[in-house]
Structure 1
Amino acid sequence: MNYKVLFFLTFLCVSNFTFSQNHSVARKWNEVLLQSIRNDLARPTVHARNLFHISAAMYDAWAVFEDKSDTFFLNKENHGVYIPYSNTTFPGDIIKNQEEAISYAAYRLLIHRYEISPGYKKSRVIIDSLFEKLGYDKNFLSLDYKKGNPAALGNYIAKKIIDFSWEDGSNEKYFYTNLFYEPINKALILKNPGIKELDDPNRWQPLAFEKFIDQSGNELAGSVPEFLGPEWGQVLPFSLDKKKIKILKRDGYEYPIYFDPGAPPEFLNSNKELNVEYFWNHSFVSIWGSHLDPNDGVLWDISPNSIGNQNINYSSLKIETLNKKYNRDNGGDNSSGYKLNPITKLPYKKQIVPRGDYTRVIAEFWADGPDSETPPGHWFTILNYVSYHDLFKRKFEGKGNLINQLEWDIKAYFLLGGAMHDAAIAAWGLKGYYDYIRPISALRYMAKNGQSSDNNFNSYSPLGIKLIDGYIEIVKKGDPLSGKNGENIGKIKFYSWRGHKYINNPKNDYAGVGWILAENWFPYQRPTFVTPNFSGYVSGHSTFSRAAAEVLTLLTGSDFFPGGLGEFVAKKNQFLVFEKGPSQDIKIQWATYRDASNQCSLSRIWGGIHPPVDDLPGRIIGEKIGINAYNFGRKYFSLKN
Structure 2
Amino acid sequence: MERKGMLAASRTVLGGVTFLPAFRTFQTARVALIWIDALLQIIRTTNPAVTIVARALAVVATCMYDAWSAYDPVASSTCCGKRLTRPVSEHTQAHKEEAISYAAYRALKDLFPDQELQFRIVMGQLGYSTLNQSEKTNTPAGIGNMMARLVLDFRHNDGSNQLGTMHAGAYADYTNYQPINTTDTLYDPNKWQPLGIPHDDHSFVVQRFVTPHWGHVKPFALFNGSQFRPAVPPATVYSSRYGMQANQLLDISANLTDQQKVIAEYWQDGPDSEQAPGHWFLIAQYVVRRDMYNLDAAIKLFFVLGNALLDASIVCWDCKRAYNSVRPITAIHSLYAERQVLAWAGPDQGTKLLRGADWRPYQTKKLVTPASPEYCSGHSTFSAASATILALFTGSDYFGGSYTRSAGSSLIEPGTTPKKDVTLAWKTFSAAAIEAGISRLYAGVHFEQGNFTGRALGHMVAQIVWAQAQKYLCGTI
Cα deviations by residue, 1:505-564 (Å, 9 ceiling, x for unpaired)? xxxxx2322212211111111211210011110101111111111111111111212xxx
Distance 2:432 2:402 in 1: 10
- The one-letter amino acid of 1:236's match is K
Indicate whether 1:168 and 2:161 are aligned: no
Indicate whether 1:422 and 2:311 are aligned: yes
Distance 2:91 2:297 in 1: 19
Deviation of 1:115 (Å): 2.2
Indicate whether 1:621 and 2:468 are aligned: no
Quick check: 1:359–1:606 contact (8 Å CA) kept in 2?
A: yes
1:28 is matched with: 34
Task: Rate the CA distance shift 1:206–1:97 in 2: closer, same or farther, 3 A.
Answer: same
Quick check: 1:291–1:359 contact (8 Å CA) kept in 2?
A: no
Deviation of 1:75 (Å): 3.8
Match of 1:571 among 406, 412, 416: 406
Deviation of 1:222 (Å): 6.9
Distance 1:369 1:98 in 2: 35
Distance 1:29 1:445 in 2: 47
Structure with more of its chain in helix, by fraction: 2
2:52 is matched with: 46
Q: Which has the larger radius of gyration?
A: 1
Quick check: 1:42–1:374 contact (8 Å CA) kept in 2?
A: no
SS at match of 1:137: coil
Identity of matched residues, % = 33
Distance 2:88 2:392 in 1: 34
Distance 1:496 1:434 in 2: 28
- The one-letter amino acid of 1:207's match is L
- For residues 156-195 of structure 1, what are the structure 2 equivalents within 5 Å? 156-174=146-164, 175-179=170-174, 180-188=176-184
2:263 is matched with: 362
- The one-letter amino acid of 1:151's match is A
Distance 1:143 1:222 in 2: 49
- For residues 474-489 of structure 1, what are the structure 2 equivalents within 5 Å? none
Distance 1:11 1:587 in 2: 18
2:234 is matched with: 264
Quick check: 2:270–2:367 contact (8 Å CA) kept in 1?
A: no
Distance 2:414 2:231 in 1: 37
Cα deviations by residue, 1:320-343 (Å, 9 ceiling, x for unpaired)? xxxxxxxxxxxxxxxxxxxxxxxx
Give unpaired runs (5+ residues) of structure 2.
Answer: 14-25, 165-169
SS at match of 1:176: coil
Match of 2:123 among 118, 131, 135: 131
Quick check: 2:233–2:323 contact (8 Å CA) kept in 1?
A: yes
- The one-letter amino acid of 2:452's match is L
Match of 1:110 among 108, 131, 155: 108
The answer to which of 438-447 and 33-42 deviates more is 33-42
2:434 is matched with: 598
Distance 2:350 2:28 in 1: 45
Distance 2:476 2:468 in 1: 15
Cα deviations by residue, 1:431-463 (Å, 9 ceiling, x for unpaired)? 011110000101001113xxxxxxxxxxxxxxx
Deviation of 1:87 (Å): 5.1
TM-score, normalised relative to structure 2 = 0.90
SS at match of 1:388: helix
- For residues 405-416 of structure 1, what are the structure 2 equivalents within 5 Å? 405-416=294-305
Indicate whether 1:70 and 2:76 are aligned: yes
Indicate whether 1:224 and 2:206 are aligned: yes
Indicate whether 1:234 and 2:72 are aligned: no
Deviation of 1:187 (Å): 1.1
Q: In angstroms, what is the RMSD of aligned CA positions?
A: 2.3
Quick check: 1:230–1:433 contact (8 Å CA) kept in 2?
A: no
Quick check: 2:60–2:107 contact (8 Å CA) kept in 1?
A: yes
1:6 is matched with: 7
Distance 1:572 1:137 in 2: 47
TM-score, normalised relative to structure 1 = 0.68
Deviation of 1:231 (Å): 1.5
SS at match of 1:169: coil
Match of 2:445 among 587, 593, 609: 609
The answer to which of 67-76 and 282-291 deviates more is 67-76
Deviation of 1:11 (Å): 5.3
Deviation of 1:68 (Å): 1.3
- The one-letter amino acid of 2:407's match is K
Task: Rate the CA distance shift 1:257–1:182 in 2: closer, same or farther, 3 A.
Answer: farther
Task: Rate the CA distance shift 1:635–1:548 in 2: closer, same or farther, 3 A.
Answer: same
2:341 is matched with: 494
Deviation of 1:40 (Å): 1.9
Task: Rate the CA distance shift 1:4–1:27 in 2: closer, same or farther, 3 A.
Answer: same
The answer to which of 370-379 and 590-599 deviates more is 370-379
Cα deviations by residue, 1:205-227 (Å, 9 ceiling, x for unpaired)? 00112329xxxxxx9x9701210
SS at match of 2:159: coil
Cα deviations by residue, 1:564-596 (Å, 9 ceiling, x for unpaired)? x21111111124345432111111001111111
Task: Rate the CA distance shift 1:206–1:406 in 2: closer, same or farther, 3 A.
Answer: same
Deviation of 1:42 (Å): 4.1
Deviation of 1:143 (Å): 2.1
1:198 is matched with: 186
Deviation of 1:111 (Å): 1.4
Deviation of 1:241 (Å): 2.8
Deviation of 1:276 (Å): 1.2
Quick check: 1:43–1:228 contact (8 Å CA) kept in 2?
A: yes
- For residues 464-479 of structure 1, what are the structure 2 equivalents within 5 Å? none
Deviation of 1:44 (Å): 1.2
Give unpaired runs (5+ residues) of structure 1.
Answer: 13-19, 77-84, 189-196, 213-218, 246-255, 269-274, 293-355, 395-403, 449-490, 504-509
- The one-letter amino acid of 1:279's match is G
Cα deviations by residue, 1:153-193 (Å, 9 ceiling, x for unpaired)? 111122222221121011112211112111111015xxxxx
- For residues 83-122 of structure 1, what are the structure 2 equivalents within 5 Å? 85-86=83-84, 94-116=92-114, 120=115
SS at match of 2:102: helix
Distance 2:272 2:29 in 1: 23
* Residue correspondences, number: 456
Quick check: 1:544–1:622 contact (8 Å CA) kept in 2?
A: yes
Quick check: 2:193–2:326 contact (8 Å CA) kept in 1?
A: yes
2:355 is matched with: 517
1:438 is matched with: 327
1:346 is matched with: none
1:279 is matched with: 243
Deviation of 1:635 (Å): 2.4
1:271 is matched with: none
- The one-letter amino acid of 1:134's match is L
- The one-letter amino acid of 1:280's match is M
Distance 2:39 2:331 in 1: 37
Distance 1:599 1:5 in 2: 15
Quick check: 2:229–2:318 contact (8 Å CA) kept in 1?
A: no
Distance 1:258 1:169 in 2: 19
Task: Rate the CA distance shift 1:577–1:138 in 2: closer, same or farther, 3 A.
Answer: farther
Distance 2:430 2:295 in 1: 26
Cα deviations by residue, 1:477-513 (Å, 9 ceiling, x for unpaired)? xxxxxxxxxxxxxx311111102xxx4xxxxxx2322
- For residues 306-455 of structure 1, what are the structure 2 equivalents within 5 Å? 356-389=257-290, 392=291, 404-448=293-337
